[in-house]
Amino acid sequence: GAGVSQSPRYKVAKRGQDVALRCDPISGHVSLFWYQQALGQGPEFLTYFQNEAQLDKSGLPSDRFFAERPEGSVSTLKIQRTQQEDSAVYLCASTIKGADRGSGKLFFGSGTQLSVL
Amino acid sequence: KNQVEQSPQSLIILEGKNCTLQCNYTVSPFSNLRWYKQDTGRGPVSLTIMTFSENTKSNGRYTATLDADTKQSSLHITASQLSDSASYICVVSLMYNTDKLIFGTGTRLQVFP
């Protein structure tokens, strides 16, 4: 596609519910990132994939958060047993190679706004 | 502890005026520094990327400067337009973990007619 696509655009979940957020990166982009952005804050790193390999998941806040990219393209961020503090915008970004290799430019999707009630 | 601090937190200016946004960072050693523009409800869009050896980079009406000695960067916007209303985020890349970007909290700019 022309850009990074994320779905759903908005998600409302009841506390304790599981959610799955989808990211469709730019075709051919090797690297994919997930970020969490709380209201009024900058994005915070969650996890990073190079192709299908998850090279860094140090930013995932708890074991309720799980991300996968099984075929090296589309990625899914899953949050189990959602809590109110999980409410945030979840941004996905992709780049041709690593964030600091190639063009170095990250292309972001518009995000999924998750509200946990 | 926030390793990338931005100021001011918010700024209001009139259309046509210039403004300068500041970024101070403590990340060291760093690989590069970026400025992003984030419209409300959208993902950030890259404006400039500077390596530690560069001290200025322009993109149209946006000019970023970098002083690696004082660990400061600025983003200067010339002849502001209504469409410049957005958050501007300073981002630093670590030297030894270049895939992990550290974002500032942003400066919220509002341009009024």
A40 confidence band (pLDDT: 50, 70, 90): confident
> In this prediction, what percent of chain A has a pLDDT beyond 90?
79
> Is A25 at the interface with chain B, CB within 8 A?
no
Query: Can you give the pLDDT at residue A102?
Result: 39
What is the per-residue pLDDT across B89-102, written as a single tens digit (0 to 9) for each? 999 987 666 667 88
Chain B environment of A110 (Cβ under 8 Å): 41-43
The mean of the pLDDT values for chain B is 91
Region A36-50: what's the mean pLDDT? 92
Using the predicted structure, report yes or no on whether residue B77 has a pLDDT greater than 50. Answer: yes
Those residues with Cβ within 8 angstroms of residue A44's Cβ, 6 or more apart along the chain or in another chain: A35, A36, A37, A38, A59, B103
pLDDT value, residue B43 = 93
Q: Work out the minimum CA distance from A12 to partner chain B, whole angstroms.
A: 16
Stretch A69-96: mean pLDDT, rounded?
Answer: 95
Of A44, A100, A105, the CB nearest to B98: A100
Spatial distance between the Cα atoms of A96 and A22, rounded to a whole number of angstroms: 19
Q: Is-contact B63 B78, C-beta < 8 A?
A: yes
DSSP H helices in A1-117: none
- Tokens (6 digits) for A69: 């990219």
Q: How confident is the model at residue A103 (pLDDT cuts 50, 70, 90)?
A: very low
Q: Is the CB of residue A34 less than 8 Å away from at least one CB of chain B? A: no
pLDDT of residue B2: 62
Which residues from B are below 8 Å from A59, CB to CB?
Answer: 100
| Alpha-carbon distance B76 to nearest alpha carbon in chain A (angstroms) | 20
Rounded to an integer, the average pLDDT of A79-92 is 97
Q: pLDDT tens digits for B49-67?
A: 998 889 999 999 999 999 9
pLDDT at residue A54 tops 50? yes
Chain B contact present for A31, CB below 8 A: yes
Give dist(CA A77, CA A23) in Å, integer: 8
Rounded Cα distance, A88 and A110, in Å: 13
**Alpha-carbon dihedral A9, A15, A16, A21, rounded to 10 degrees:** 10
Tell me the pLDDT band of B82, cut-offs 50, 70 and 90: very high
Question: Does the pLDDT of residue A1 top 50, yes or no?
Answer: yes
A9-13 average pLDDT score: 97
